[in-house]
Amino acid sequence: MLLPKRTKFRKFQKGRVEGLCGNLQTLTYGSYAIKAKSSGKVSAHLIVTFRRTLTRCFQRKGKVWIRVFPDIAVTKKPLEVRMGKGKGSPEFWMTRVHAGQILFEMDGVSLAVARQATLQVAQKSPFQLSFVS
């Protein structure tokens, strides 16, 4: 599971995910990429699921670069606890994804295989994704 080694603060505010991405819109490492069409939040568990889906589609031949990292702790209070008494304990990690941001880069596979892998990842995603080459 992806999580930071240490953070400055134990608990974070949720914040909003709006607007376009600034500097993470171009290909850096690979030939193909998966780009977010809309904004949203992605948990560490979902990022690992996306990566596993990509490597299975590539049959362990290509290379995948993950361009997002879950660095925000999401807190949750236990079930059937009364209101008040402070904020809950950290439950899982997530990251904010803006529209236009590249999530994954791929290389070492054909264009058709990369497109097919993107379609499978897009089915598991809570927001819209697109293929970039």
pLDDT in tens, 5-18: 998 988 988 788 87
Structural domains in the chain (count): 1
pLDDT for the residue 16: 81
What is the Cα–Cα distance from 111 to 92, expressed in whole angstroms? Answer: 35
Q: Which residue has 């304990």 as its token pair?
A: 89
Whether 132 and 32 have beta carbons less than 8 Å apart is answered as yes
Kindly state whether residue 109 falls inside one of the protein's structural domains.
yes
Kindly state whether residue 13 falls inside one of the protein's structural domains.
no
pTM: 0.88
Kindly state whether residue 5 falls inside one of the protein's structural domains.
no
Kindly state whether residue 52 falls inside one of the protein's structural domains.
yes
Check whether 23 has a pLDDT greater than 90.
no
Per-position b or e across 66-95, b if 16+ CB within 10 A of its CB: ebbebebbbbeeeeeeeeeeeeeebebbbb
Kindly state whether residue 11 falls inside one of the protein's structural domains.
no
Kindly state whether residue 115 falls inside one of the protein's structural domains.
yes
Whether 42 and 97 have beta carbons less than 8 Å apart is answered as yes
What is the Cα–Cα distance from 113 to 133, expressed in whole angstroms? Answer: 12
Whether 6 and 86 have beta carbons less than 8 Å apart is answered as no
For 83-118, write each residue's pLDDT tens digit.
999 999 999 999 999 999 999 999 999 999 999 999
The sign of the dihedral angle between the CA atoms of 109, 115, 116, 121 is positive
Kindly state whether residue 3 falls inside one of the protein's structural domains.
no
What is the Cα–Cα distance from 48 to 54, expressed in whole angstroms? Answer: 10
Q: Could you tell me the CA-to-CA distances from 52 to 4, 29, 35, 96, 131 in Å, in that order?
A: 20, 19, 17, 20, 18
Domain with 86, as residue range(s), is 32-132
Q: What is the CATH number of the domain that holds 53?
A: 3.90.1170.10
Kindly state whether residue 120 falls inside one of the protein's structural domains.
yes
